[in-house]
Structure 1
């Protein structure tokens, strides 16, 4: 976490910028680590929210082992910094295998995911040499994204195919269910975690009954992992990621307390428009992201620190138009050049827009994190 002649106070930063509260980050990471240590389940954190070495070191408690990534660029970045036992967390395509071969050479353990027969054939056509491709079967337990449907006959067939394939080592099951993000209470999320766990364990039972080994059973999303239903103790690992930062979406779900949200976007007032009942900020959708705007939330997608009266009503690329939730806006209450702080709806999408994160403790800026970019 290095800085070249950096601002030392938040108020000195150029805006828009992403702020990371290091004290909250450390607390969030410590809490999740302790939760799964007590459950006896391996925590394999996902890196997609922050994509930084500093964040990864906190999430892995300094071990630099057992992570999930969402892009090969992330895998290469973390492997180049000594990280090992990495899962590439989406189905791999044959066009990516040349890069994956290099990652297998660099890492002691590098794992791929598959959800179809063609991928196994591609792996057989592209042997590694002195290693076998290490693979997880991705299972869809309700998200309708990627993965073979959990209750289909193809689950066992794909496990059989991977087990019997040349140059392939079938490790187990990986799943992520985004259904929890549509819930609105910790009780509902806990029920979802129980349902998800039962479904994935039933998949493992079917595969084992067919005579094939399942070493690892991985499941997880930040909402379910944050409430940690006791049934999850039957898993071998979980892989949440957003918990390092949390966000207002997670707060609405019941995953965290509002004080756990560790990221904000700092913006400045650049225009007063009393004739349209608005002020304008220098932060548009490339600083905040569009995530959440489709939800039609009554108070808007953004939450303003210390200004509950404000509502983000519109965004263009570099402008954010802000009004009050009722009545006429008093522009003098928000002077030109003054700074406002916005808690993002979805921290992963917001952070992805920023080339650096300004890390602070209190109002003091203590460092900069630089995330890896690209795919």
Structure 2
């Protein structure tokens, strides 16, 4: 039976603020509608049907996924026009073929001649053709053919000339925006990535290849798009629906935009080492963000007066963990270490007042990286106006 009170939940628990999710999705959708660019939202952060509905406005059409398991999950729930945005693994060609034959539109990503050869070796049935996007590395440095390498154009031509294979588009991820700090840096990377992919599209036209789409994406770049992005066909951000502490540090959003929390409880007092123990280890929060926050692995939500009373900058506010009662800033705790199921909490300075953290009391953690944290949980508890109104179950696997 669904609990209607957050306080009744067993911890650790992953909480989702429904109103913030809807607001984040609406803002991104309206932003690119105004620019005349198709939003193809990425499902990798949440991996749920319900959030997919929100991000697509209920159309269940035109999405991005990062695993074949996600693609199959969404196909099973009536989604179509799915882009598998991952360099095609050769062991997954058959599963991709089945999805291509099953759906109206299923797209794969290629950045090697070996992957293209594998597609040629597996012709689709029913008159279907492979919808292929060329993965281009525009200085992100993860996957894709480097935009400046001759191989990029050669591979595009090879895809274009292949029988029963269509060069549907060119895809670039500007993940280097995750190293930014502030809107100016984000937009500089967004502009660079946009310029490079548009220049590559001109090379395609010069080679007689006209018609493929072009798409870039990352939550930072799509949260602060540059005007030239209006020339793109699509964008494919994903984290924006939840946001997180990392995105607030980058400059994509404010902490108020973050839609997710991890609820944890105090399970131990240890005055001899000036620490609390909580029931949130790395299996509930992940180790992502280690060493990147003065507050440890996360930020704790709490007393709203701290923001109005403090003249601190947004970034320096992150040294504080927010708790649901007043407490001197000098005594704010930080999550200093985690094991599999335990978290150790100690103050920034001074001694903990254990009367303010009784055993069983709850703390609400704002995760550093929502994608990594969400991946730790088999169910999300969805809140509206402070009450649990639903549960979402994400898909898992590859």
Q: Structure 1-normalised TM-score?
A: 0.97
Task: Measure, in 2, the Cα distance between the counterparts of 1:93 and 1:193.
Answer: 28
CA distance in 1, matches of 2:29, 2:346: 41
User: Equivalent residue for 1:95?
Assistant: 91
Q: Which SS does the other structure have where 1:62 is aligned?
A: coil
- The equivalent residue for 2:227 is 230
| Cα offset, 1:77, TM superposition | 0.5
Query: Which residue in the other structure is 2:310 paired with?
Result: none
Q: Distance in 1 between matches of 2:260 and 2:196?
A: 34
Give the total of aligned pairs: 370
Q: In 2, are the aligned partners of 1:204 and 1:214 still within 8 Å (CA)?
A: no
Tell me what 2:161 maps to. 164
Q: Which residue in 1 is equivalent to 2:104?
A: 108
**Alignment partner, residue 136 of structure 1:** 133
Quick check: 13-22 or 128-137, which moved more?
128-137
Q: Deviations over 1:182-236 (max 9, x none)?
A: 1110121112111111011111111221111342101010000001111110101
Shift of 1:327: 1.5
Structure 1 residues 23-38: aligned runs within 5 Å: 23-38=19-34
Q: Corresponding residue for 1:319?
A: 342
Within the alignment, does 1:354 sit opposite 2:377 as a pair? yes
Determine if the alignment matches structure 1 residue 303 to structure 2 residue 299. yes
- The answer as to 2:270 corresponding to 1:280 is no
Partner of 1:151: 148
Secondary structure at the counterpart of residue 352 of structure 2? coil
Q: CA RMSD in A?
A: 1.0
Map Cα deviations across residues 18-41 of structure 1 (whole Å, 9 max, x no partner). Answer: 000001000000000000000000
1:56 maps to what in 2?
52
2:367 aligns with: 344
C-alpha separation in 2, matches of 1:217 and 1:372:
28
Task: Give yes or no for contact 2:216–2:234 (8 Å, CA) kept in 1.
Answer: yes
Matched-pair contact (CA < 8 Å) for 2:174–2:190: no
Partner of 1:371: 394
Q: Is the 8 A contact 1:155 1:207 kept in 2?
A: no
Please tell me whether residue 219 in structure 1 is matched to residue 216 in structure 2. Answer: yes
The 10-residue stretch of structure 1 (280-289 or 85-94) with the greater mean CA deviation from structure 2:
85-94
Return the offset for 1:297. 2.8
Q: Deviations over 1:344-365 (max 9, x none)?
A: 0000000011000000012210
| Structure 1 match to 2:305 | none
Aligned to 2:353: 330
Question: What are the ranges of 5 or more consecutive residues in structure 2 without an aligned counterpart?
Answer: 303-320, 323-331
Aligned to 1:244: 241
Alpha-carbon deviations, 1:315-368, whole Å to 9, x = none?
A: 000001111111222222111000000000000000011000000012210000
From 56, 61, 65, the equivalent of 2:61 is: 65
2:206 is aligned with 1:209: yes
Alpha-carbon contact 2:174-2:189 (below 8 Å) kept: no
Any gaps of 5 or more consecutive residues in structure 1? none
**Which one of 241, 247, 250 corresponds to residue 253 of structure 1?**
250
Q: Is the 8 A contact 2:174 2:221 kept in 1?
A: no
Contact 1:135 1:171 in 2 (8 A): yes
Structure 1 CA distance for aligned equivalents of residues 211 and 169 of structure 2: 5
